[in-house]
Chains A and B, each alone.
Chain A
Amino acid sequence: MNIDLIFRIAAIGILVSVLNALLNKSGREEQAMMTTLAGLVVVLMMIVKEIANLFDTVKTLFQF
């Protein structure tokens, strides 16, 4: 049970929100957009591993 993954995703989400607000305030909308995109990609890369793990375990458990 690795709950730290949830906390990591939450931290990245909060960080991206803060950076987004900061960059928007200082008038750099396109960089704020890039930050949002980068955060999304980073979290997706973390999640894809877990999804593959889930599929593998279901495959072995139900003898596919």
Chain B
Amino acid sequence: MEIFQIIGLALVATVIALLLKAHRPEMALQVSLVTGIIIFLVILGKITAVVDLLNSYAEKVNIDMVYINTLLKIVGIAYIAEFGAEVCRDAGEGAIASKVELAGKVIIVVMAVPIITSLLDLIISVMP
């Protein structure tokens, strides 16, 4: 049961961050940053299994791998953008956080362009 480990780690890190926040706010921010990274590295193994499963089923039903890869990339970009924006927002920089989120959204839309064009082509070819 890794959830108990993660919750214990989060509680300890929260207490340490609160202790440091009074005198050294920048150190408190770094503690929370490292905690986020460690928790992600713990759940990484489980996500890998899910991604492998997704890939194997996509191969079975002959879905074009380009689409699956784009989908996975979008998930990765969304996670990273959220992570960075949350760190910025924790430090009180809401403006920078919104810009990071905007950049993530724009990059995701740009990556989804091939999927959108193929969908539109399909619709046009079906139309009489």
Contacts and interface: CB of A to CB of B under 8 A. Distances in A.
B24 A13 contact: yes
Interface residues of A, number: 32
Interface in B76-102: 76, 79-80, 83
A50 B9 CA distance: 17
Interface residues of B, number: 34
A45 B104 CA distance: 26
Contacts, number: 90
Interface string B19-61: 1100110111011011101101110100110010000000000
A16 interface: yes
A62 B76 contact: yes
Contacts of B16: 6-7, 9-10
Chain B facing A: main interface SS: helix
A61 B35 CA distance: 20
Given A58-B79, A59-B76, A9 B34 contact: yes
A55 B23 CA distance: 30
Q: Which 6 A-B pairs have the closest CB atoms?
A: A62-B76, A13-B27, A62-B72, A17-B23, A10-B16, A13-B20
Interface of A: 1-3, 5-7, 9-10, 12-14, 16-17, 20, 36, 39-40, 43-44, 47, 50-51, 53-55, 57-59, 61-64
Interface of B: 5, 9, 12-13, 16, 19-20, 23-24, 26-28, 30-31, 33-35, 37-38, 40-42, 44, 47-48, 51, 69, 72-73, 75-76, 79-80, 83
